[in-house]
């Protein structure tokens, strides 16, 4: 039977010209109704539900087997890793620590949009929809295989995801097609029941996807009980160096400063990991290799059998703007890293200790800093008397007093290669940040808060200052551009930690602005020159405006 042109139409071919085309279709057999077409809305919904089912199935299998194999989160990780650095900086600036939920939500919107378009392209034949579902599935599989922790079993979740996506698409597509109107035909009772079946099936897929995805995410959230036994073992271990007692006079919380030690739950968190690695202490090991006399692999038991030290350290992020809150203090427990490096024997010429994390992150730390006597670099296993929280590097991280986190504080550390700076670049160095980044002398005003309205009378100005590992010798405050006035300093705990300060002023009703500047123990005064965080840390004097009634 010859094919005949059914529809003659014209399409725009640019600049107002049109061109007639004929769309040739399979011929209708005499008397048979025209081919059914799924309404646009339903077609889009079929696409979205199929992809939702695929994502949920991947999430569920990953949650059951291996959280690192979730295709959805692996794609998110890949986006973070492949994003140009201006985009990452923009996201950090715009969303702060909410950047991860924002990324995942943005991905959901993009994927749902794609799925809807795929559905609409499949109003008659499921082919285009299947192609899109397969393409997304292959993307998920590829992203999982690129995860640094990839093992072959991890292919199961993305594979199940792909298969479920295609199956649900074909199934719902079939139901939708069966329920679709046949042009020129009256609605029959069978059509009504077909429509009811479609609605029920679509609702079931929606509910099952939501529930499966939620359960999978919950299962994969990381095991809290990994930490309990480790906390107990740290408590029972032999301490050869105790942290100094923290006197009440080390902070002025009543005046508005933070508490001296930051509770673990409030400690600032910065990393590129969408999923917190959940690595059991028994499964952890650290390989120290490269330019060393004797390569060495340490287990968690090896660490615990060494003398443990306890040190209060203030960690600071290079991205912290003047006045920002990416700074916190904890007492870290762990092993001395200098001792360990002396044992393995660092070869002459090795100027970079290149640490790698199980999450795929990496950075380089100057060897001379790690080997500096008294610097106190450590492999930390405990934080404020507990095992490290998962999001702060459980079971083992690096802590190096005096260096910004991005060049020193590798969390979930599993490799330490002694090499040269010429040979390798760290993650943030590759993205325009500095190679060596000692912490700059800074101060912050915590009280009054910006734009506060205070009652008339005496005003207490209070804040923090830091200059690890040197320590703070002086903080001065200037009200309304007046002379610098010495602030009262809190009791010093260590040069590796922040120091609180406060000062009192009589201020008249009206608007005011107050500034602070710190002086380090070596006499270096916090510079007034304003610099952005990129590439090696912000500078400038904090300035807070407030008013008095």
| Residues at the site binding ligand MTE, with contacts judged by CB under 6 A | 267-273, 315, 317, 357, 359, 361, 392, 405-406, 409-412
Question: Which of Mo ion, ligand MTE, none binds 272 (CB below 5-8 Å, type-dependent)?
Answer: ligand MTE
**Shortest distance (Å) from residue 85 CB to ligand MTE:** 13
Expressed in angstroms, the distance from the first to the final Cα of the chain is 92
119 touching Mo ion, by CB under 5 A: no
- Which residues have a Cβ under 8 Å from the Cβ of 29 and sit 6 or more positions away? none
Residues 267-286 that bind Mo ion (CB under 5 A): 270
- The DSSP output letter for 440 is P
Question: Which of ligand MTE, Mo ion, none binds 269 (CB below 5-8 Å, type-dependent)?
Answer: ligand MTE
**Shortest distance (Å) from residue 273 CB to ligand MTE:** 6
**Shortest distance (Å) from residue 43 CB to Mo ion:** 46
Tokens of residue 182, six digits: 């046949």
- Which residues have a Cβ under 8 Å from the Cβ of 540 and sit 6 or more positions away? 322, 527, 528, 529, 530, 531
CA distance 2 to 13: 29
CA distance 218 to 205: 20
**Based on CB atoms, which residue is closest to ligand MTE, 252 or 433?**
433
Q: Are 330 and 395 in contact (CB under 8 A)?
A: no
538 touching Mo ion, by CB under 5 A: no
Please name the residue that has the structure tokens 């700074």.
327
Question: Which of Mo ion, ligand MTE, none binds 147 (CB below 5-8 Å, type-dependent)?
Answer: none
Question: Which of ligand MTE, Mo ion, none binds 361 (CB below 5-8 Å, type-dependent)?
Answer: ligand MTE
**Shortest distance (Å) from residue 277 CB to Mo ion:** 18
What is the secondary structure of 3-71 as a DSSP string? Answer: --EEEEEEEEEETTEEEEEEEE-PPPPTTPPPPP---HHHHHHHHHHHHHHHHHHHHHHHHHH-GGG-H
317 touching Mo ion, by CB under 5 A: yes
**Based on CB atoms, which residue is closest to ligand MTE, 272 or 299?**
272
**Based on CB atoms, which residue is closest to ligand MTE, 42 or 267?**
267
**Shortest distance (Å) from residue 17 CB to Mo ion:** 57
**Based on CB atoms, which residue is closest to Mo ion, 233 or 269?**
269
SS3 420: coil
Question: Which of ligand MTE, Mo ion, none binds 92 (CB below 5-8 Å, type-dependent)?
Answer: none
CA distance 455 to 337: 51
Question: Which of Mo ion, ligand MTE, none binds 362 (CB below 5-8 Å, type-dependent)?
Answer: none
**Based on CB atoms, which residue is closest to Mo ion, 42 or 427?**
427
**Shortest distance (Å) from residue 434 CB to Mo ion:** 12
Instruction: Note if the bond before 481 is cis, omega within 30 degrees.
Output: no
Per rule CB under 5 A, count of chain residues that contact Mo ion: 4
Question: Which of ligand MTE, Mo ion, none binds 171 (CB below 5-8 Å, type-dependent)?
Answer: none
**Based on CB atoms, which residue is closest to ligand MTE, 46 or 68?**
68
- Which residues have a Cβ under 8 Å from the Cβ of 50 and sit 6 or more positions away? 115, 119, 129, 133, 165, 166, 168, 169, 172, 205
Question: Which of Mo ion, ligand MTE, none binds 412 (CB below 5-8 Å, type-dependent)?
Answer: ligand MTE
**Shortest distance (Å) from residue 390 CB to ligand MTE:** 11
CA distance 373 to 201: 69
Question: Which of ligand MTE, Mo ion, none binds 89 (CB below 5-8 Å, type-dependent)?
Answer: none
Q: Are 268 and 92 in contact (CB under 8 A)?
A: no
DSSP bridge partners of 9:
21
**Based on CB atoms, which residue is closest to ligand MTE, 87 or 135?**
87
- The DSSP output letter for 124 is S
**Shortest distance (Å) from residue 149 CB to Mo ion:** 22
Question: Which of ligand MTE, Mo ion, none binds 410 (CB below 5-8 Å, type-dependent)?
Answer: ligand MTE
Residues 387-426 that bind Mo ion (CB under 5 A): 405-406
**Based on CB atoms, which residue is closest to ligand MTE, 121 or 317?**
317
CA distance 97 to 516: 27
CA distance 218 to 70: 12
Q: Which positions lie near Mo ion, rule CB under 5 A?
A: 270, 317, 405-406
């Amino acid at each position: 039977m010859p094919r005949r042109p059914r529809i003659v139409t014209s399409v725009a071919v640019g600049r107002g010209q049109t061109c007639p085309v004929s769309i040739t279709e399979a011929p209708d057999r005499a008397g048979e109704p025209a081919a059914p077409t799924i309404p646009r809305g339903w077609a889009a919904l079929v696409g979205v539900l199929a992809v939702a089912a695929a994502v949920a199935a991947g999430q569920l299998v990953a949650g059951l087997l291996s959280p690192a194999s979730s295709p959805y989160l692996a794609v998110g990780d890949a986006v973070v890793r492949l994003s140009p650095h201006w985009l990452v900086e923009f996201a950090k600036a715009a969303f702060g620590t909410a950047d991860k939920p924002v990324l995942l939500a943005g991905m959901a919107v993009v994927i749902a949009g794609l799925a809807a378009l795929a559905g609409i392209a499949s109003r008659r034949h499921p082919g285009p929809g299947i192609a899109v579902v397969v393409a997304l599935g292959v993307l998920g599989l590829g992203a999982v295989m690129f995860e640094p922790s990839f093992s072959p079993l991890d292919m199961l979740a993305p594979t199940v995801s792909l298969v479920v996506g295609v199956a649900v698409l074909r199934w719902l597509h079939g139901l939708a097609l069966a329920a679709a109107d046949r042009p020129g035909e009256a609605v029959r009772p069978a059509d009504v029941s077909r429509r009811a079946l479609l609605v029920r099936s679509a609702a079931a897929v929606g509910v099952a996807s939501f529930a499966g995805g939620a359960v999978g995410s919950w299962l994969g959230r990381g095991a809290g009980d990994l930490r309990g036994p480790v906390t107990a073992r740290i408590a029972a271990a032999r301490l050869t160096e105790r942290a100094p007692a923290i006197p009440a006079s080390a902070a002025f919380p009543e005046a508005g400063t933070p508490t001296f030690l930051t509770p673990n739950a409030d400690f600032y968190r910065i990393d590129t990991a969408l999923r917190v690695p959940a690595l059991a202490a028994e499964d952890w090991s650290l390989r120290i290799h490269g330019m060393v006399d004797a390569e060495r692999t340490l287990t968690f038991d090896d660490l615990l059998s060494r003398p443990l030290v306890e040190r209060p350290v203030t960690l600071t992020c290079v991205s912290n703007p003047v006045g920002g809150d990416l700074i916190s203090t904890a007492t870290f427990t762990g092993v001395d890293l200098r001792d360990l490096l002396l044992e393995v024997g660092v070869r002459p010429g090795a100027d970079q200790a290149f640490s790698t994390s199980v999450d795929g992150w990496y950075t380089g730390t100057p060897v001379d800093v790690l080997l500096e006597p008294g610097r106190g670099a450590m492999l930390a296993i405990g934080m404020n008397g507990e095992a490290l929280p998962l999001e702060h590097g459980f079971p083992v991280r690096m802590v190096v007093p005096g260096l910004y986190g991005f060049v020193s504080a590798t969390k979930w550390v599993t490799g330490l290669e002694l090499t040269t700076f010429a040979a390798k670049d760290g993650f943030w160095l590759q993205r325009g940040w500095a190679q060596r980044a000692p912490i700059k002398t800074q101060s912050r005003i915590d009280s009054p808060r910006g734009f506060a309205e205070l009652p008339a009378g005496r005003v207490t100005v209070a804040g923090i200052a830091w200059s690890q590992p040197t320590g703070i010798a002086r903080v001065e405050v200037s009200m309304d551009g007046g002379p610098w006035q010495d602030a009262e300093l809190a009791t010093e705990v260590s040069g590796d930690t922040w120091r609180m300060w406060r000062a009192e002023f009589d201020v008249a009703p009206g608007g005011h602005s107050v500034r602070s500047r710190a002086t380090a123990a070596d006499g270096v005064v916090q510079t007034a020159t304003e610099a952005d965080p990129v590439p090696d840390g912000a500078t400038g004097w904090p300035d807070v405006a407030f008013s008095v009634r």
